[in-house]
Amino acid sequence: MDAAPARSNTFLHLSDLHFGARGQQEVWEALVDHVATLDPLPKAALVTGDIVDSPRVMWLHEAWHGLFKLSRALGGGNNPNIADKVFVCPGNHDRYWRGNSVKPSFIPRSGGTNLFDTIIGRHVATAPNLTIGATPPEQWKLFVNQVDTSLYSGILAQGFVRKPDLDGIRELARSGYDPQVPFSLMILMMHHHALPIAELEPHFPKMNSVASVFTAATNPGRVLENMLSGHVDIVLHGHEHQSHSARYALYDSHKGDIAVIGAGSATGMDTKTGCDIKRASFNIIELRSDRSVWLKVYKGAGTWSAPSWNVVPGSTVEILNSTAIRRNRFLRMRTQRALQAGAAAGRLEETKFSEWQRHVTLTSSRDAIVADRRKNWPIAPSQFWFPVANETGWPSLPEATIVVGGQPLALNQPSFRVSSLDEEGTHSFFVDFDEQAATRAELIDTSFKWEDGILLTESDLALLDRQTATGLRKDGLEFVAATVPRDLPLASLTLTTTFPIGYLPGPGKVTVRFQNTLEVGSRLEPDLALAERLQRAGHTLALTIPYPLSGYRYAIAWEPVAGPGYQSQSRDNLIARLLSADSLKDRLLGTALDTLAQSEWHDELATVSLYAPQRAPDSDMVLLKRVAYGAIEGAPPTEAPSAEVSLQISGSTRRNGFYRTPWWGERGGWLREGGDDAEALEQGMLADEGATLVLPIWPSTREGPPSAIVRIGLRRLPSQSEADLEEKLAETYQRLLEKVEVRILHQMAE
């Protein structure tokens, strides 16, 4: 049913190319030729320094042509002045002769330090971001940034990041968020390594180990600290000609964690012997459709005339899972939103993360009880509201509690409102209060009932008009969902749903979906990573999503079950008798009318209709055929209910709604409230009715659809107010339906 998982996207991470070194061109040509054969073809190349062996004009021009050739191999454009598929940052060899600075950082530089910028820097891709993949789940946004660790270094091959650049790294927290693209990566390129590389450390003390002081970054702690504050996802570096991968994090809920990835020399450069394909290696960063990021290291073999490249055994590792990526994106968005609102950074870190828990209890009568708990939630002055939507049924019975400053607010009665601009089936849950200032509530509990809103079986889906159905329902799926507010970063969203016995879908019938509501025409698409988080407990499905994407809708979707086994010969026999010339239908009608006449409703102008189900021709659609109709003796004539009623769900969500209530096994009563004629007529009331009652009738067990439906129409007496009718209905209609049911069942048993 679902499409096969999309192929992953990849990009190259290269370092330490050393154009101009002995043997470099042969290895480089072999590398570019191999890259062009990779499947999938990488979308870009990120090169972390030491492009040349020394900043000589000839070698820099040679490097430029080599980078352009790599860009073309990756599908780049033909413009000879730009390598649009290549991003670079400089290394110490790009700034100084053989990579060694002879002046400390406080002495001004000149000469070769600027040649890299004028020959290489202005001819490679300079855009700070890169969107790869056409549509979700393949689409990613890469925010590619760089910091020059060589320009202001100490002496020899040391690296250093000065304060303005550290501030710039920290400021990355303001960006790296695009609401239109579901997953993004903040990537920082630098040349010098920021973490120790164990493979290069000796097993016992050596005099030459002192030399490492002159090749390392001299302030890596500050660099890493600012990377965490900038919520960087991946740091790419080179310098030591050694493949390396690690994670770095602090015990701070307001920071993320970083994948630190080092690349070996792509041309196998050695200071003494030059380049050799047997030492060459490069990294592939793979962006998978399950929202994880993986590292794969390739190493060269053979000779430059007969080269080969193979994945290093054991090098394929997950460097970031989907949760880590969402968390950093959440932190960047949270910072961005707070700064836009004028919040100080210090105040931002004092603010607790917002959380949302939604539990949906489904009933066998196709109602859904929706209970929400929101924690640390911002609320506007005087009002809290949120949208609710479903193309079947309608919401009722809203309740709410809001706690601010440890005390519950005094709330007006919650209500549902429908705007003329809302699409069909969309309402808003509103609750008003006296709090006049925008604030943050520690707790908001809300609940409501969505009546006749859930399709639990295949036969329920058959009632849905596929011509007007939308989204997953058009595909034969049912679902429960929650939409994360556009401007509120959430630390977690928990979505659970409990099924009645006999309706829980089996393994393999449930998927987890997501949808970017900000994208016009988007659909709920499968999410493979989140599907692994789905848990079953009894008749409950539970899904917790850490750091969900703002403006996104998340859903648990399932194929409705065939339905509990309820084949009943007695049910079928009763339907056949009601649809025939048998006198049973007249006896049942008389029993219902007699019960009304003997009840507290004997004064009202009441009518009774008896319906039996039948299938529509050439369709699974159910029609209710009126087989008997009558009124209490003495009641004036009235318009009769429809001779035939379709249970199809089409157009208005309320159309003929109360006929489906008994079809799904529930007694029901409706009052024409406030003279709302349009809504009453949609549900199936007659023009002069003040209230309508419905009752399902089974011959024996109460399983599956009923054999008959009793409809009772009540007209308000001229002397009776609407309030009087409502009070009487609230107190006695259930008791009346029970009496009618018992007497009809007694009549059927005779």
Distance, CA of 372 to CA of 589 (rounded, Å): 44
Query: CATH no. for residue 178?
Result: 3.60.21.10
Going by pLDDT thresholds of 50, 70 and 90, the confidence category of residue 419 is: low
465 and 323 in a common domain? no
Query: What's 661's domain CATH number?
Result: 3.30.450
Which amino acid, 644? E
Q: Do residue 595 and residue 550 come from a single domain?
A: no
- The stretch 126-138 carries a mean pLDDT of 75
Tokens of 302: 């053979």
Q: How confident is the model at residue 422 (pLDDT cuts 50, 70, 90)?
A: very low
Asked whether residue 376 falls in the same domain as residue 414, the answer is yes
Residue 414 in domain: yes
Given the structure tokens 């949302």, which residue do they identify? 356
Confidence of residue 107 (pLDDT cuts 50, 70, 90): very low
Could you tell me which of 552, 489, 559 has the C-alpha nearest to residue 523?
552
CA distance 26 to 2: 47
Two structure tokens written together for 125:
């891709």
| pLDDT band, very low/low/confident/very high, at 273 (cuts 50, 70, 90) | very high
Same domain flag for 60 and 86? yes
Q: Is residue 327 part of a domain?
A: yes
Residue 355 amino acid letter:
E
* Confidence check: pLDDT of 232 > 70: yes
pLDDT at 116: 87
Q: Are residues 373 and 515 in the same domain?
A: yes
CA distance 546 to 526: 17
Task: List, for residues 43-86, the tens digit of each pLDDT value.
Answer: 999 999 999 999 999 999 999 999 999 999 999 988 888 888 99
pLDDT in tens, 589-598: 999 999 999 9
| 240 — pLDDT class (breaks 50, 70, 90) | confident
Average pLDDT of the residues in 711-735: 88
**Shared domain check, 392 and 364:** yes
Please state the rounded mean pLDDT for residues 108-117: 63
pLDDT score for 211: 43
For 388, the domain range is 351-558
Q: Which residue has the higher pLDDT, 400 or 114?
A: 400
The pair of three-digit structure tokens given for residue 718, joined into one six-digit string = 């001229």
Q: Are 713 and 692 in contact (CB under 8 A)?
A: yes
Q: What is the pLDDT of residue 60?
A: 93
pLDDT > 70 in the chain, percent: 88
Residue 728: exposure state from Cβ atoms within 10 A (0-12, 13-18, ≥19): middle
The 3-class secondary structure across 409-464, one letter per residue, is CCECCCEEECCCCCCCCEEEEEEEECCCCCEEEEEEEEEEEEECCCCCEHHHHHCE
| Helix orientation angle between 584-597 and 722-749, rounded to the nearest 10 degrees | 140
The answer, yes or no, to whether residue 4 has pLDDT greater than 50, is no
Token pair of 583 as six digits: 């006198």
Asked whether residue 215 carries a pLDDT value surpassing 70, the answer given is no
- What's the pLDDT at 471? 83
Whether residue 346 lies inside any domain: the answer is: no
User: Is residue 591 domain-shared with residue 690, that is, in the same domain?
Assistant: yes
Q: What is the chain's percent helix, strand, coil content, to nearest 5?
A: 25, 30, 45
Average confidence score pLDDT of the chain: 86
User: 553: which strand partners?
Assistant: 483, 515
Adjacency order of strands within the sheet including 708-715 = 644-646, 622-631, 605-615, 708-715, 691-697, 668-671
Q: Name residues whose C-beta falls within 8 Å of residue 746's C-beta, 6 or more positions apart in sequence.
A: none
Residue 639's pLDDT is 82
pLDDT computed for residue 2 by the predictor: 40
395 lies in the same domain as 489: yes
Instruction: Tell me the angle at which helices 569-579 and 584-597 cross, rounded to the nearest 10 degrees.
Output: 90
Q: Is residue 434 part of a domain?
A: yes
Cα torsion angle, 623, 626, 631, 636, sign: positive
Strands (E), 279-345: 281-287, 293-302, 307-311, 317-320
Domain stop point among 535, 558, 581 = 558
pLDDT of residue 7: 62
Give the model confidence (pLDDT) of 358-369 as tens digits. 999 999 999 999
pLDDT of residue 3 exceeding 50, the answer is: no
Distance of CA 452 to the CA centre of its chain: 26
Any idea which of 315-329, 340-354, 634-648, 661-675 has the lowest mean pLDDT? Answer: 340-354
Q: Do residues 654 and 394 touch, judged by C-beta distance below 8 A?
A: yes
In a domain, 1, yes or no: no
Same domain for 580 and 554 = no
73/107 same-domain check: yes
* Residue 425, pLDDT score: 60
The CATH number given to whatever domain includes residue 524 is 2.60.40
Q: Quick one: pLDDT band at residue 304, thresholds 50, 70, 90?
A: confident
Helix (H) or strand (E) holding 746: helix 722-749
Domain edge (last residue) among 558, 586, 610: 558
The predicted structure's pLDDT at residue 533: 93
Cis check: omega of the bond before 489, within 30 degrees of 0: no
Computed over its alpha carbons, how large is the radius of gyration of the chain? 35
**What are the CA-CA distances from residue 671 to residues 337, 437, 676 (Å)?**
46, 39, 10
Is 288 within the bounds of a domain? Answer: yes
Work out the pLDDT band at 195, boundaries 50, 70, 90.
confident
Q: What is the pLDDT at residue 106?
A: 45
Average confidence (pLDDT) over 234-260:
87
> Does residue 475 fall inside a structural domain?
yes
Which pLDDT belongs to residue 269?
95
Query: What pLDDT, on the 0 to 100 scale, is given for residue 52?
Result: 94
129 pLDDT above the threshold of 90: no
> How many domains in the chain?
3
Identify whether residues 464 and 548 lie together within a single domain. yes
- For residue 345, being part of any structural domain is answered with no
Q: Is the domain of 548 the same as that of 582?
A: no
pLDDT, one tens digit per residue, over 511-566 is 999 988 888 888 898 988 889 999 999 999 999 999 998 889 999 999 999 876 66
Q: Which is nearest to 398 in space by CA: 411, 379, 381, 410?
A: 411
Q: Is 619 exposed, middle or buried (0-12, 13-18, 19+ CB in 10 A)?
A: exposed
| Residue 220 banded pLDDT, cuts 50, 70, 90 | confident
pLDDT of 447 strictly over 90: yes
Q: How far apart are CA 262 and CA 295, in angstroms?
A: 11
Q: Which of 26-30, 379-383, 569-573, 685-689 has the highest average model confidence (pLDDT)?
A: 26-30
More confident residue, 216 or 650: 650
Span 687-705, mean pLDDT?
A: 87
> Are 557 and 479 spatial neighbours (Cβ–Cβ below 8 Å)?
yes
Angstrom distances, CA of residue 465 to CA of 414, 461, 472, 473 = 32, 9, 13, 10
Q: How many CB atoms lie within 10 A of CB 270?
A: 15
pLDDT of 216 over the 80 cut: no
**How far is Cα 725 from Cα 297, in angstroms, rounded to an integer?**
78
% of the chain exceeding 90 in pLDDT: 46
If one compares 155 and 492, the residue with the highest pLDDT of the two is 492
Does residue 137 have a cis peptide bond before it, meaning omega lies within 30 degrees of 0?
A: yes
Q: How many CA atoms lie within 13 A of 714 on its CB side?
A: 26
Query: Which pLDDT score is estimated for 33?
Result: 95
Choosing from 558, 583, 599, the residue where a domain stops is: 558
What average pLDDT score do residues 316-322 get?
93
* Mean pLDDT, residues 116-122: 84
